[in-house]
């Protein structure tokens, strides 16, 4: 069991770093609101795939990293990611046996919850973002989910 977990750590850290880089990659202003929350998807994946390897600690630390690179109040993304990561971990056995469509819908729900926590903290700390485009990211993220799971499955299958 220990051995198993140790093997999984490397792809986990690598994918987390890559997703963090994607989160700050410059995009044209038009596409920017459409940018999916890559890091959140990756954290969800690892929460569902092997909750013991990373789990909530990974979610919390990734959230802090997002707070830093986005330059928002410290703890905002960490809170959202922790809550939704815990939910994903709780649902993981069900999600694994879901059909693709149901998986996408579940992920969409989780991503929307994530955005909602961000939205709430934004408002509570006094700088609300009221544009509707914020709610587009969960759609794109949910659409990306099957591709992400496939890619990760293949990655791990080869190694």
Partner 1 sequence: MVAFRNTDTSQRTTGLLLRCVLYSLLALGLIIVDKRYDHLGRIRRVLSVVAYPVQVAVASPFDGWNWFKDSVTTRDALRADKAKLEAELRIAQFRLQRYEALEAETQRLRALRESTVGVTDRFVIGDVMDVDLDAFRERVLVDKGAGDGVYVGQAVLDSGGVFGQVARVGQLTSEVILVSDPAHAIPVQINRTGLRTIAVGTGDMNRLKLPYLPTSADVIAGDLLVTSGLGGGFPAGYPVGTVAEVKRDPAQSLADVDVKPAAALERSRELMFVWLKPQTAEVLPTPAAPKPAAPKPAAPKQAAAKP
CA separation, residue 59 to residues 33, 39, 41, 68 (Å): 23, 9, 11, 14
The least CB distance from residue 120 to partner 1, in Å, is 11
The least CB distance from residue 155 to partner 1, in Å, is 11
Interface residues with partner 1 (CB under 8 A) are 17, 20-21, 24-27, 29, 32-33, 35, 48-52, 55-57, 59-60, 63-65, 68-76, 78-79, 82-83, 86, 89-90, 93, 96, 100, 103, 121, 125-127, 129, 131, 133-134, 146, 149-150, 153, 156-157
Indicate the burial class of 159 (C-beta count within 10 angstroms; 0-12, 13-18, 19 or more): exposed
CA separation, residue 155 to residues 15, 151, 158 (Å): 11, 6, 6
The least CB distance from residue 40 to partner 1, in Å, is 14
Angstrom distance (rounded) from CA 113 to CA 56: 16
Residue closer to partner 1 by CB (options 50, 109) is: 50
Residue closer to partner 1 by CB (options 48, 109) is: 48
The least CB distance from residue 42 to partner 1, in Å, is 14
Angstrom distance (rounded) from CA 21 to CA 15: 10
């Amino acid at each position: 069991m220990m051995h198993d977990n140790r093997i999984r750590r490397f792809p986990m850290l690598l994918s987390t770093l890559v997703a963090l880089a994607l989160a700050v990659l410059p995009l044209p202003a038009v596409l920017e609101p459409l940018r999916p929350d890559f890091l959140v998807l990756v954290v969800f994946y690892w929460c569902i795939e092997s909750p013991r390897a990373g789990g909530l600690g990974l979610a919390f630390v990734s959230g802090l990293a997002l707070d830093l690179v986005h330059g928002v109040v410290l703890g905002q993304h960490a809170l959202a990611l922790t809550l939704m990561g815990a939910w994903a971990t709780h649902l993981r056995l069900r999600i694994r046996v879901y059909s693709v469509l149901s998986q996408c819908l579940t992920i969409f729900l989780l991503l929307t919850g994530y955005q909602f926590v961000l939205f709430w903290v934004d408002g509570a700390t006094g700088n609300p973002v009221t544009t509707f485009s914020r709610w587009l990211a969960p759609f794109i993220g949910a659409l990306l989910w099957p591709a992400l799971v496939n890619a990760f499955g293949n990655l791990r299958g080869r190694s």
